[in-house]
Amino acid sequence: MYRLAVVTLLFASCAIRIPSAPMAAQDGDVLLRNEPFSVAIVSDFAAGGDALADALAAAKPDLLVLAGNAIDRSRTDDWIALFDAVGGIPVVPLPGDGERRGDRSLDRFLASWQGLGVDGLPDPVSWRAFVVSTPSRRWRFVVLDADRANLDGGWNNQLHWIPKAATAGDEPLVVLLAHPPRSLTAGRDAAAEELVALLREHADPPRVVLVASGGAAAPELVLPGGRWGEAWLAAGPPAPPVGPLPRSADDLVLAPPADAALTGWFAGALDDAGRQALAAAPAYDERWPVAGFWWLTFTEGAIGCELRLFHDGTWVPLPLVRWSADSGWTAIDAENEAASVGP
């Protein structure tokens, strides 16, 4: 079984001891895995407490994407607590606001995760790409860092690296960021948009099938390109308190299968008046809080996407959508629902 072996490093010349642990995959790695292959995408890990750590340990994802804010602040005690909480699960770490709080240049983050770096650059960096090879298909994961303001000269290095990542292989691309390019709850992030647009420019269409991120005020799923476009999945707080999840914002709309599943879930505990209020509400607000994390299942050349919704101290699965090369994005377990996600 994969274990996080935590060791201690000296931090530069300051003699500050920093714990460190191995990642699930370094740049260029090819992971050979059986099916189904599962990926949990969690933002704000620290907000989930011991209950979240226990739920993930029981679920045993093959990869755990820590999509930002895995710690509240970059301190030695926080890193030790994180490594202890995720011990035994292969981790794909992304730096968010919490990782940069007290560590703007990410010195601690880059020292804490062993193996960060890309070919051609002498120093560790926060972006990379790796492949998961299953019996039915290979999948390429591209990890990007959209924090342009704090990357300084590293931003241009990432821009020069992206074409290489986009043109390698011919696998479907799953893009991972700590901030969504566009979001129902977080608005627009110009830096994340630039990175994803550059990746699309160099990748053969339609290789980009999923853009997954943290940084949302609530878990959300949108399908801006409809059935045959890419899905945008954003993780928010795994447990309350959580911000409202709008059904629409600007030209984005909560994916119909997600809206239908959430409405069905919350309506089960409501009377007729409550159901009418829910159906008419422009957002899932504090009356119907949407908190949780995302669970992806890769099997038989397809991606299944479900929301693990927080409820009464645990997380319940809500299957939402499925992608395949033949069918695009369709609703899970619903007949004749393909048209509901777009033409």
Kindly state whether residue 342 falls inside one of the protein's structural domains: no
**pLDDT score recorded for residue 17:** 65
Backbone angles phi, psi at 244, to 5 degrees: -65, 150
* Structure token digits, residue 8: 């201690």
Kindly state whether residue 1 falls inside one of the protein's structural domains: no
d(CA 150, CA 315): 34
Per-residue pLDDT of 134-181, as tens digits, reads: 999 999 999 999 999 999 889 999 999 999 999 999 999 999 999 999
Q: What is the CATH classification number for the domain harbouring 87?
A: 3.60.21.10
Count other Cβ atoms within 10 Å, centred on residue 13: 6
**pLDDT score recorded for residue 4:** 53
**pLDDT score recorded for residue 288:** 97
Run of H or E including 261: helix 256-267
Which residue segment(s) compose the domain that 47 sits in?
A: 7-337
Per-residue pLDDT of 69-106, as tens digits, reads: 999 999 999 999 999 999 999 999 999 999 999 999 89
DSSP codes joined into one string, 173-196? EEEEESS-SEETTTEE-HHHHHHH
Domain count, the chain: 1
Strands 16-22 and 252-253: unpaired
**pLDDT score recorded for residue 259:** 97
**pLDDT score recorded for residue 98:** 94
Cβ atoms of 150 and 106 within 8 Å: the answer is yes
Q: Contacts from 149-153 at CB under 8 Å and sequence distance 24+? A: 149/191, 150/100, 150/104, 150/105, 150/106, 151/126, 152/105
Task: Extract the residue ranges of the chain whose pLDDT is less than 50.
Answer: 1-3, 5-15, 334-340, 342-343
Query: What DSSP designation does 87 have?
Result: T
Kindly state whether residue 47 falls inside one of the protein's structural domains: yes
Kindly state whether residue 2 falls inside one of the protein's structural domains: no
**pLDDT score recorded for residue 2:** 43
